[in-house]
Amino acid sequence: MWIEHVLNPKTITSIYSTEPPSLEQVQLYELSITCGGTLQCKLHFNLKDFPTDAPIKWVQRKCNTVQLSLNLIQTELIQCNIPSGSGIGDLGIIYDGTRFHITFSTQSEGVVFQATATWIHVDNILGYQKE
């Protein structure tokens, strides 16, 4: 499982303790590329499913959506052709023992983003109330 190989897996496993969150039908909000030094790529997206055992503070604030921010470090082979629209698609993250292979596919366009990265850092996971 890819989560076991990120730099800080507890950021995700503390929220999704029983099973990892699905990366199907996520809503991609932002994709940014940072040049200089080693290439980095940041992905910000909403997960489709809310955790069963959400943190108390999320329940008290009536949160219903989880946003995850991943930083792909030492990124290579970026190919990107993301069309405008809803940004809903399937995120694929496969760890082959040395590198992560990341893809984002939409139903209408197929693979619209792909990259490889040496590391993935979970920058942020937060709950909020989506109307």
Query: Which domain does 103 fall in, by range?
Result: 2-128
- Band the pLDDT of 108: cuts 50, 70, 90: confident
- Return the higher-pLDDT residue of 59 and 80: 59
Locate the DSSP E strands across 8-61. 26-34, 40-46
pLDDT higher than 90, residue 81:
no
In this predicted structure, the answer to whether residue 77 has a pLDDT above a threshold of 90 is no
The dihedral sign for the CA sequence 66, 19, 90, 76 = positive
Sign of the dihedral defined by the CA atoms of residues 53, 18, 97, 92, in that order: negative
Residues 6+ apart with CB under 8 A from 86: 27
- Short-list 123, 124, 79, CA closest to 105: 79
Is a pLDDT exceeding 80 seen at residue 79? yes
Number of domains the chain contains: 1
The rounded distance, in Å, linking the Cα atoms of 68 and 114 is 18
Task: Judge whether residue 17 has pLDDT over 90.
Answer: no
Q: How many helices and strands, by DSSP H and E, does the chain display?
A: 2, 6
CB 16 within 8 A of CB 52: no
Query: Could you report the per-residue pLDDT of 26-68, keeping only the tens digit for each?
Result: 999 899 988 877 889 999 999 999 998 899 999 999 999 999 9
Q: Output 20 or 82, whichever has higher pLDDT.
A: 20
